[in-house]
Amino acid sequence: MTPLTHKVCMLGDFGVGKTSLVARYVRSTFSDKYLTTVGVKVDSKEVALPGRDPLKLVLWDIAGRSALDAPSTSYLRGASALLLVADGTRETSLSSALNLLMQSRSTLPDAVAVLAVNKLDLVERWEVAATTLSELRRSLPVFETSALSGAGVEEAFAEIARRLPG
């Protein structure tokens, strides 16, 4: 049976580790050079959840930026979910991720949104306070991830899959 397919867009500031998260999660078909040329790279990953039919996530890794421009907005069309990525060692990247979420709501008012605060392996240098994250968890799922160790990566994507219609 063909699994249901959902488009998931990854948004975040430059250098927060979006591409590394995707690389940790899937085996890419396309080269990263598309990020610098076209501004997006697409991969897919089939997710099996207990008690549910498998889903396929088509991941659109959109080149890092702090605000959405026209091309990035066009890439968001038809997305079912957003994975917002911030760098724990840069508090400004968290602001950028939340800013991108606000901007994308005009295009995707009903899209599932999950926040991944990356670089857990450098937690001792984090600028993002735990209280901030606790506050954020009230409005959207937040995962502390590490593309280096893989911690929290599968969970973040699984959470997206859980929240998507089966």
The strand pairing partners of 58, in sequence order, are 7, 44
Query: Which of 39, 141 has the CB closer to another protein?
Result: 39
Q: Which is nearer to another protein, 78 or 102 (CB)?
A: 78
The values of phi and psi at residue 94, to 5°, are -70, -40
As measured in angstroms, the least distance from the Cβ of 119 to another protein is 26
- The SS3 of residue 66 is coil
Least Å distance, CB 29 to another protein, is 5
**Which residues of this protein are in contact with another protein, per CB under 8 A?**
2, 4-7, 29-30, 34, 38-44, 56, 58, 60, 70-71, 74-75, 77-80
Nearer of residues 97 and 108 to another protein, judged by Cβ: 108
What number of other Cβ atoms are within 10 A of residue 43's Cβ?
18
Alpha-carbon distance of 8 to 145, in angstroms, equals 18
